[in-house]
Amino acid sequence: MKNILTLIDLYKETKEIDIIFLINIKQYLSDIELQELYKYSLYNNVFIVLIDSQVYGEKRKFEKKLIIDDNLEEYVL
């Protein structure tokens, strides 16, 4: 978790990138850590996109979900 927050800090300092993409990060963070990540990124005006290979239930606060199925059909939650 600390490394991800450091990544956000680096973005804030350099302004080199617009979006940070994190792959399968929900497998490694608890719900509390994930919520803190969302808050920290919003506070620092950093956009993050989480790309996961699994469905993790209901949408959490600060999340917008886009699900793409096997037929490449999109569903927004």
Three-class secondary structure of residue 77 per DSSP = coil
User: Tokens in use for 54?
Assistant: 């699994």
pLDDT tens per residue, range 17-37: 778 888 888 888 888 998 999
- In angstroms, rounded to a whole number, what is the distance separating the alpha carbons of residues 25 and 23? 5
Contact between 20 and 8 (Cβ < 8 Å): yes
- In angstroms, rounded to a whole number, what is the distance separating the alpha carbons of residues 65 and 59? 7
Reported pTM? 0.72
pLDDT tens per residue, range 45-59: 888 888 887 777 676
- In angstroms, rounded to a whole number, what is the distance separating the alpha carbons of residues 71 and 7? 34
